[in-house]
Structure 1
Amino acid sequence: MRTGLIAEKIGMMQIFEENGTQIPVTVLKVEPCTVIAQRKESVDGYNAVQIGARAVPANKVSKPLRGYFAQKEIEPCKLLKEFRVDEANLLAVGEKLDVNHFTANQFVDVTGVSIGKGFAGAMKRHHFGGLRASHGVSVSHRSHGSTGQRQDPGKVFKNKKMAGHMGARRVTKLNLSIHSIDSERGLLFIKGSVPGAKKGLLYIRDAIKKQSAI
């Protein structure tokens, strides 16, 4: 496993191939990342790399973080993220990473926070079919119907699909393919959609379940 990178979601667009095929892609702006620290199994019990992005003035971070970055002799960063890696893929502190960390046609996993929908009913949240449109149903066409049994067990089981807060959760989409890379502008074009709203933060790393198509 290699380290991942931090990116910002710009939005979606479509790309037309030479044969006329239309491909929907999501545009991601990859932040220039710096290796802040290493985690070694001999010391910390696991192997990982801590990545920082979006450099900020020292007075924009807390005093403990100011000392932390000063000890590393690295400019303070607004964003910090730790990625698990293999021991062979540990990177030196201070090393710079950019969009060229990935390649076209590579499979990646993208993690982000899904768009919040607020309080949603069972039909929107869980795709329930709703009650009948006629024949005795009045006012409650979009209700979720019965939620339990009779006196035995006499309760509603946990995790029952019901109305409630929808979205605003950490989501990872697996095995997404990178269509192309714009090295000059630091952009990744990923086939299909990714979690989150525009300007949302995303974490991209090599796909775990699927090898690269290179």
Structure 2
Amino acid sequence: MPNTNGILGRKVGMTRVYNEMGRSISVTVIEAGPCKVLQKKTVGKEGYNAIQVGFLEKKESRLNKPEAGHFKRSGGTGYYHVREFRVTEPEVYEIGQDITLAEVVKIGDQVDITGKTKGRGFQGVMKRHGFGGGKASHGSGFQRAPGSIGCSAYPGRVVKGKKLPGHMGTDKKTVKNLTVVDVREDENILLVQGAVPGAKNGLVSIYTKA
């Protein structure tokens, strides 16, 4: 059976391990899978080939009626996270089938990992955009303000995309070409070299190279 090009996981945290050369490297620990196949999508019906998978089981009492009906086809168990992964041959998968970590990645693979960055709330231009700010001495009244944002007589308005204070974080971000350092099949644990977007317990999507 061909592998999917990805699997869902939960960021556990970061630590350090030693490689075969005795060098300490920082790694991100991810609990990845198993994921349940909930639905198959084909070019003939939906216009593209993909499988829908669920990750982290949810109690039946927490499901609403539409969710319960959808999950019933794959065995009745609900899931907190539902995502799609493109596949070339959706017909080889079965509804209710489990996709495990060992089927998707192995040690030494290069993977792309997508997550949601940490939320920082409402922030000013210095933290949000890296502005330098004004003088902090000699009676200056301009320290952390954005400064003038107008354009005089023409065009007489604030241009779109102007860097201003606002909500920071919770953005979708992908880090590419991370090396898989270790795969612990019995614990569904994946170790990748480097940092991964998001806070602890945040959902991440792990994509393998086609």
The interval holding the TM-score normalised by the smaller chain is: 0.7 to 0.9
Structure 1 residues 97, 71: CA separation in 2 closer, same or farther (over 3 Å shift)?
A: closer
Query: Residue 170 in 1 paired to residue 172 in 2?
Result: yes
Deviation at 1:95, TM superposition (A): 1.9
Q: Following TM superposition, by how much is the alpha carbon of 1:90 offset from its aligned partner in structure 2, in angstroms?
A: 5.5
Code of the aligned partner of 2:146: H
Equivalent of 2:129, from 111, 126, 129?
A: 126
Residue in structure 2 matched with residue 204 of structure 1 by the alignment: 206
| Residue in structure 2 matched with residue 48 of structure 1 by the alignment | 50
Q: Which secondary structure state, in structure 2, belongs to the residue aligned with residue 67 of structure 1?
A: helix
Contact 1:8 1:202 in 2 (8 A): yes
The question of whether the paired residues in 2 share the 8 Å contact of 1:37 and 1:93 is answered with yes
Are positions 1:58 and 2:60 aligned together? yes
Quote the residue 1:5 is aligned against: 7
Provide the alpha-carbon RMSD of the alignment.
2.2
Q: Residues 48 and 90 of structure 1 are in contact (CA less than 8 Å); yes or no, is this contact kept in structure 2?
A: no
The answer to whether the 8 A contact 1:112-1:202 is kept is yes
The code of the aligned residue for 1:28 comes to I
Corresponding residue of 2:83: 81
Find the aligned partners of 2:107 and 2:187 in 1 and give their Cα distance. 15
1:96 aligned residue: 98
Which residue number in structure 2 is paired with residue 20 of structure 1? 22
Equivalent AA in structure 2 for residue 109 of structure 1: D
2:114 maps to which of 108, 111, 128 = 111
TM-score (structure 1 length as normaliser):
0.86
Aligned equivalents of 1:76, 1:134: Cα separation in 2? 59
Matching of residue 148 in structure 1 with residue 150 in structure 2: yes
SS of residue matched to 1:176: strand
Would the aligned equivalents of 2:41 and 2:90 in 1 still touch at CA under 8 Å? no
Would the alpha carbon gap of residues 68 and 161 (structure 1) be closer, same or farther in structure 2, given more than 3 Å must change?
same
Structure 2 gaps of 5+ residues are: none
TM-score if structure 2 supplies the norm length?
Answer: 0.88
Aligned partner letter, 2:147: G
Verify the 8 A CA contact 1:61 1:78 in the aligned structure 2.
no
Which deviates more, 148-157 or 49-58? Answer: 49-58
Report the equivalent of 1:182.
Answer: 184
Residue correspondences, number: 207
Find the aligned partners of 1:105 and 1:148 in 2 and give their Cα distance: 52
| Distance (whole Å) between structure 2 residues aligned to residue 134 and residue 75 of structure 1 | 62
Deviation at 1:176, TM superposition (A): 1.7
Change beyond 3 A, Cα 1:3–1:20: closer
Give secondary structure in 2 for the equivalent of 1:81.
Answer: strand
Distance in 2, matches of 1:167 and 1:90, equals 39
